[in-house]
Amino acid sequence: MIDRWLVRRFVSNPERVGEARTREAYGVLEGFASIVVNVVVFAVKLVPGVMIGSISLVADAFHSLGDVLSAIVVIWGFKVAARPSDREHPFGHGRVESVATLVIGILLFVAAWEFGQNSVIRLLNPKPVAASNVLLALLAVTLVLKEWLSRFARDLGRRIDSSVLEGDFWHHRSDVFATAVVIVALFAARFGWDWVDGVAGLVIAGFIAYAAYELTRKAINPLIGEAPSPQLLAAIKETALCVPEVDQVHDVIVHFYGGVMVTSLHIEISDSLDITRAHDVAEAVESALNERFNGWAVVHLDPVNRKHPLYAEVQSFLEESLPVIPYAEGFHDLRIVGSADPCYVIFDLKADSHHAPAIADRLREAVAHRFPDVAKVVVNVEPRYVY
């Protein structure tokens, strides 16, 4: 209930999740909610933690303070990412979201190292700690608050497909686990098990380190160019194939700039279409992709003559030959140019990059031997980044 109220109150046009300003509003909302909750949680944990001398509770308090710093980074990241494109950044500033995620991950790694060291010292030199029932009750309340905040970040992140908010979800969720461990440690201290406080500190450091690893991994992948998911590729091809007169889709390349997706692809059409109609088909595919995915699409036309006397025979030969060749993954964009005698056979090969040149040579020889009327065989080896 409160989640929906917050979204309605602070996000204009919440359904337009592809727009930069809407993404910014969602990110800023989660960031400020995180700051408010974590400042309260930090104070609740720090003061009694110092008073009773619990290293695990103090570590957990600063873990919550780290969430405040992370929230500031989240707000900064979304505000910068929402800036329009300029001369220096023609694709916009969307990848700043990934930079913000990376900064959060680094901060978490530093926190994990510091608290891991302090916990080892406490484990080697245990000290008695005593927690009242009131303190344990307060910690239980902070656990509930952090669980709500983690789910809030997760839900907002799913709405706008944001790795930053997903990372903040794991950040908050690690705090939930950490607080639960602290409660167990403080309760164990009542039975004289003072060493549990140091162990709990190490466990919390482990939670923080794992969250840092997940964040940095997810932040680095978009920055260095991660592969599009099979689901996204299927959706792109499905959208293009819904346009009449598009026979096949291949050579899909996708680049992400935050919430903006830049796509290029090849479509196969009949070579009987006149140039005006072919251009209309390409523009229809671009419009369909731009409408479904927030970004920009560019379409390349491959005119194919499937009525050529040799087309069906060459296609069947390749379909039979490739499965028995190790490391060969497939072919597409088969074109036969010219009359039956002589003619050129041209197609694209998808294969393991290390073995692709040898496979291409083998296929050239096989096609030339099987079809002596073919004057030339051209095999274009695709790079790994096209699908």
pLDDT tens for each residue of 302-348 = 888 888 888 898 899 999 888 888 888 888 888 888 876 678 888 98
User: What is the residue-averaged pLDDT of the chain?
Assistant: 83
Q: Is the pLDDT of residue 271 over 80?
A: yes
Residue 89's pLDDT is 76
Residues 182-206, mean pLDDT to the nearest whole number: 77
Q: Is the pLDDT of residue 219 over 90?
A: no
239: nearest Cα among 279, 280, 278, 293: 293
Output the pTM of the full model: 0.63
Query: pLDDT for 25-62, tens place per residue?
Result: 888 888 889 899 888 888 888 887 787 777 767 877 87
Query: Which CATH code for domain 230-304?
Result: 3.30.70.1350
Count Cα neighbours of 202 within 13 Å in the Cβ-side half-sphere: 11
- Which tokens is 269 given? 């059409």
Residue 259's pLDDT is 65
Query: Which CATH code for domain 311-381?
Result: 3.30.70.1350
> Is 1.20.1510.10 the CATH classification of the domain at 2-224?
yes
Residue 279's pLDDT is 94
- Give the least confident one: 137-141, 192-196, 260-264, 361-365: 192-196
Residue 113's pLDDT is 84
Same topology for domains 230-304 and 311-381, yes or no?
Answer: yes
Mention every residue, 6+ apart, whose C-beta is less than 8 A from residue 14. 7, 8, 22, 25, 26, 159
Residue ranges of the domains in the chain?
2-224, 230-304, 311-381
Rounded CA-CA distance 246/241 in Å is: 6
- CA terminus-to-terminus distance, the chain: 43
Question: Could you give phi then psi for residue 340, rounded to 5 degrees?
Answer: -65, -25
Q: Is the pLDDT of residue 240 over 90?
A: yes
